[in-house]
Structure 1
Amino acid sequence: MYFETHDGTRLAYEDYGQGRPIVFVASSMLCSDMWEYQIPHFVERGYRCIALDRRGHGRSDRPSSGYDLDTGADDLAVLIEHLDLREVTLVGHSMGGAEVVRYLARHGDARIARIALVSAMLPFIRQTDDNPEGVPGALLDASLAALDADRPKWLARQAQAFFATHLGNDVSPAQIDFTLRQCLATSPWAVRQCQRNVLDFDHRATLPEIGVPAMIVHGAADLSAPVEVTGRRTAKLIPGAVYHEYPTAGHGLFVSHRDQFNADLLAFVASR
């Protein structure tokens, strides 16, 4: 299924089940297919599950612009309004988590019941004079340069760390290959723009203003979004946030720790 955004971009989404809505917002490079182990789980338990393909990703259009977080948040708002969703649980992974936060900052929480931020790229990744806890810029820039130089090589080098298989997580080579193929199918231009935009956005001022229940889930072995820079700091900034840290999880905990994550998310969504 498709809808059009304010600038005429045609975006794809999937919509399954009936009941209270959960909207899944994917990571940069990944699409709605990443939620393969979440959507059936929640549909079978009486929820309506909607998953969006960000512009440049999956089956959506590939325009030349709109890969900033504010446009991503606005695209999400159009989808929610298009389907006239209410009492929504927003679940965002990585860059998707940052877009969820920007959605609340730009569009408010009138339609939103709660949010779950999963391995989210928050609150501010790049180290600056007023953000000494961030990742040094030289490391980020070197990684971006390697991505630009040989994207398939960069992704292949990240694959095992993405699921933290070195810690004994049971993720098959076929699953890893499937995830890599999703990433490689994404518009290279979109990848380049998304990576730069998410690393340099400062959410620290808006996180304390979140007024809906929030759950943060993060892996202690997350190489892409180091937990001491992201998850732990985000949990401290959002009032009353529920925080789950998985000791052996990497960035791809939605696969490697699917049972634990699904149970934690179900408990959170079901809470009143």
Structure 2
Amino acid sequence: MPTITTNDGVEIFYKDWGTGQPIVFSHGWPLSADDWDAQMMFFLGHGYRVIAHDRRGHGRSAQVPDGHDMDHYADDLAALTAHLDLHDAIHVGHSTGGGEVAHYIGRHGESRVAKAVLISAVPPLMVQTESNPGGLPRKVFDDIQSQVANHRSVFYHELPATAFYGFNREGVEPIEPIIQNWWRQGMMGSAKAHYDGVVAFSQTDFTGDLKKITVPVLVMHGDDDQVVPYADSAPLSAELVRNGTLKTYAGYPHGMPTTQADVINADLLEFFRS
């Protein structure tokens, strides 16, 4: 398996297929690079080089006990882009991966970056605070941590079977293989990494990172996202970046890159070529 070893000794698994302009995909919590299959195959077929890694503690990367925070996530991504010597790269992040992309650019600069895409992404800040009254109460994330710590295998079936893909909405037929694939990816990773990662994705304030980004950014979000509520995320992020475009999808769920892959891929391709 292709891997890199970070400066703090963590082995990170990655996929690297094709040639052409690189697209680097950052996955959501608690998944893996496999969550990008529909995008990687599509863009490989359109002449791009497609790259995705398993975040530390996730998928096939090392299950280390520490470093499950946005600084380490961004540094691991920077280590990967340096190892592969990527230039003019397009970075695409879904959910927590959107936070990773924003923090990577804010922390490491734009010298290797051409464009960025935030899909159903956690920035600017998920948790409710005095300065972010529209965020979700801290108890929401405490409950997620409790379920990860106590009955992760059950929770990792319930979440994709309901809110993540909108399978709990009237008229939406659950797709069991998609649910099982989510469960498979989640259970590959470390419970400790996933537990700590809840704090990373919910409590990190990405406002400063977003303000530093000058490359073109496409912000894509469904207005029926039950995981990362639309109003306190996508419109705010699109305003904070200097060259942002907001694309809102009526009725789409959090996991729209999987369940609405045809639409999302077509819109991504248009943005990449523009």
1:208 paired with 2:211, answer: yes
TM-score (norm 2): 0.95
1:240 paired with 2:243, answer: yes
| RMSD after superposition | 1.4
The one-letter amino acid of 2:259's match is S
Q: How does 1:1-272 map to 2 (within 5 A)?
A: 1-159=2-160, 160-165=162-167, 166=169, 168-169=171-172, 172-271=175-274
Tell me, in whole angstroms, the C-alpha distance in 1 between the residues paired with 2:140 and 2:27.
25
Preserved contact between residue 217 and residue 243 of structure 2 (Cα < 8 Å): yes
Preserved contact between residue 146 and residue 154 of structure 1 (Cα < 8 Å): yes
Tell me, in whole angstroms, the C-alpha distance in 2 between the residues paired with 1:221 and 1:207.
23
Tell me, in whole angstroms, the C-alpha distance in 2 between the residues paired with 1:93 and 1:53.
13
- Report SS of the residue matched to 1:226: coil
Preserved contact between residue 128 and residue 135 of structure 2 (Cα < 8 Å): yes
Where does structure 1 lack aligned partners over 5 or more consecutive residues? none
Where does structure 2 lack aligned partners over 5 or more consecutive residues? none
Q: Give the Å deviation of 1:171.
A: 5.5
Q: Deviations 1:68-122 (Å, cap 9, x if unpaired)?
A: 0011100100110101110000011111111111111111000000000111111
Tell me, in whole angstroms, the C-alpha distance in 1 between the residues paired with 2:49 and 2:183.
28
The one-letter amino acid of 1:60's match is S
- Report SS of the residue matched to 1:23: strand
Tell me, in whole angstroms, the C-alpha distance in 2 between the residues paired with 1:41 and 1:170.
25
TM-score (norm 1): 0.95
Preserved contact between residue 69 and residue 99 of structure 1 (Cα < 8 Å): yes
Q: Give the Å deviation of 1:239.
A: 2.2
Q: Give the Å deviation of 1:10.
A: 1.0
Q: Provide runs of 4+ in structure 1 moved above 6 Å.
A: none
Closer, same or farther in 2 for the Cα pair 1:228/1:128, shift >3 Å? same
Percent identity reads 36
Q: Deviations 1:144-200 (Å, cap 9, x if unpaired)?
A: 323333222222221222111225456521121111111122110110011112111
- Report SS of the residue matched to 1:163: coil
Q: Give the Å deviation of 1:208.
A: 2.0
Q: Give the Å deviation of 1:249.
A: 1.5
Q: Give the Å deviation of 1:242.
A: 1.2
Preserved contact between residue 156 and residue 182 of structure 2 (Cα < 8 Å): no
Q: Deviations 1:220-272 (Å, cap 9, x if unpaired)?
A: 1111111112112212222231111111211111111101100111111111x
- Report SS of the residue matched to 2:107: helix
Tell me, in whole angstroms, the C-alpha distance in 1 between the residues paired with 2:90 and 2:171.
32
